[in-house]
Amino acid sequence: MPNPKYAPEEPICAIATPLAPSALGIVRASGKNSIELLSKLFSRPKALEQAPGNTLVYGWIKDGDIKIDEVMVAVYRAPKSFTGEDLVEINCHGGPGVVMSIQNLLLNNGFRQAEKGEFTFRAYINGKADLTKAEAVQEIIDSHTGEGRSRAAGRLAGNLFQEISSIKTLITDTLAAIEVEIEYPEDEETIADSFDTNNLKIAEERLKALVDSWKGEKLYQDGARVVLCGRTNAGKSSLFNSILKEERAIVSDIEGTTRDWIESFVDIDGIPVRLFDTAGLRETQDVIEAHGVELTRSLSKDADVVLYLCDSSTGLIDDDLDFLKSCKEPLILVWNKCDKDTSHTAEDSVLSSVKMLKDQVKISAKTGNGLNDLYKAIKKVITCGVTTERVQAGLGSARQKSAVEEALESVRHAQFVAEDFTLDAVVQDLEEALNCLGEVTGEVTPDDVLGSIFSHFCVGK
């Protein structure tokens, strides 16, 4: 078991919605006799006990003669439920006090507090979801953009499971053919010559495609760090607000207004980006501002992309060039305030020594002109060397990538040993490949791996 507290079939319950004032709250319960246990706390016990699956029952949750709340109870009967067990969801009013009262009442009447991810774990052990679908649930919860949610939803719908199953069929069919050759050889000296690697070549190509998909999928999950840098009054905070489309950062003509960094997630063409606004770079005697400048330099060293803003009305100065030349992260030079009549840009010869410069973009943070060009430049830099085109099935976790890489290596090795060794050696490699793919879907999975996966879920999921 992934958690010693997990006990299959034992009645469990948990609050499935945030504890905050809202129109509705949900308390979820699952396990053996969960419907019967809840009926003892319900104003219409027989109606609840006799309710068919996938129905709603109206009534009151009661503590003895005291009414707690007017509710609708959704009833799901095994095996046609999320967990594969009898399951109920109490839809109550969303006040934190009401939700907590119902939860505590269940805990005092035969239910146990669910552990993190225990509902999804039960779905897994009861065959309602494989591990790729289970992990996709958490991906959807953690996603920051619509594109990220959409890709995770594909895995939840089963596209990765189906691809893995299809590849396993190619390997299994090859194994079956080999076993026939081993058990019933017509000529032992020509067994190796009769070995057909066509299915394994197809499996290798598809496994390689899955491995290659991970970088792109990871980008849509974790996103990228983009840091705004530049001298004071270059317009960093104005650009930060323009991208966010809200007044998050204080904007002022006074130099050194921004003394600390602030951050926010933004969606750039489906990619979640952590955007940082930082203190302006300059020499200062102000201790607090000087600390902010050091933080700016530190943040820029961890950036996936540095947006260096320059006031186009004044052009580059030596301090700008010193930073640009010393920067070791990918750079986009952003010429701001291009709405003004007088604007400057730098000659290519001046920037030729800036090794990490990837692009230059002209914008006006004040009017919004040029922002679309900036978004395109950012995406081009952060996706360099990464395949981001939507594929039918992509990997959703580092765990899956590691297992598929091992399967790919085994399939490649099987084709290699087939040239000089007996088919027994090929069988060993192919069985290892199947075991690795079984780890992806959960057919073959160590308990510690399960514990790691489900411990990252929230309670009630």
Q: Which burial class, exposed, middle or buried, applies to 385 when counting CB atoms under 10 A from its CB (0-12, 13-18, 19+)? A: exposed
- Give the least confident one: 78-82, 148-152, 346-350, 426-430: 346-350
Instruction: Give the long-range contacts of residues 141-145, CB within 8 A, separation 24 or more.
Output: 141/458, 141/461, 142/221, 143/221, 143/272, 144/223, 144/265, 144/267, 144/272, 145/220, 145/267, 145/270, 145/271, 145/272
Sign of CA dihedral 41, 43, 47, 48: negative
DSSP bridge pairs for 331:
306, 357
| Confidence label for 73 from pLDDT (cuts 50, 70 and 90) | very high
Sign of CA dihedral 446, 447, 449, 453: positive
- Nearest C-alpha neighbor of 230 from the set 303, 281, 267: 281
Q: Which is more confident, 450 or 321?
A: 321
For the cut 90, the answer to whether the pLDDT of residue 52 exceeds it is yes
**pLDDT tens-digit readout, 172-198:** 888 888 876 666 555 555 444 556 788
Beta strands in 243-330 (DSSP E): 262-268, 271-277, 305-311
- pLDDT value of residue 313: 79
For the cut 70, the answer to whether the pLDDT of residue 143 exceeds it is yes
- pLDDT value of residue 252: 45
- pLDDT value of residue 179: 72
Give the mean pLDDT of 311-332: 84
For the cut 60, the answer to whether the pLDDT of residue 398 exceeds it is yes
- pLDDT value of residue 48: 97
- pLDDT value of residue 250: 45
- Give the least confident one: 72-81, 172-181, 207-216, 369-378: 172-181
Q: Which is more confident, 177 or 2?
A: 177
φ, ψ (nearest 5 deg) of residue 173: -65, -40
DSSP bridge pairs for 332:
307, 359
What are the start-end ranges of the H helices in 302-387? Answer: 318-326, 348-351, 371-382
- pLDDT value of residue 387: 73
| Confidence label for 409 from pLDDT (cuts 50, 70 and 90) | very high
Report whether 345 contacts 335 (CB < 8 A).
Answer: yes
Highest mean pLDDT among 118-132, 256-270, 289-303: 118-132
Mean pLDDT of the chain: 83
- pLDDT value of residue 281: 59
- Note the pTM of the prediction, 2 decimals: 0.77
The angle, 0 to 180 degrees and rounded to 10, between the axes of the packed helices 398-417 and 423-441 is 170
**pLDDT tens-digit readout, 267-279:** 888 899 988 887 7
- pLDDT value of residue 142: 87
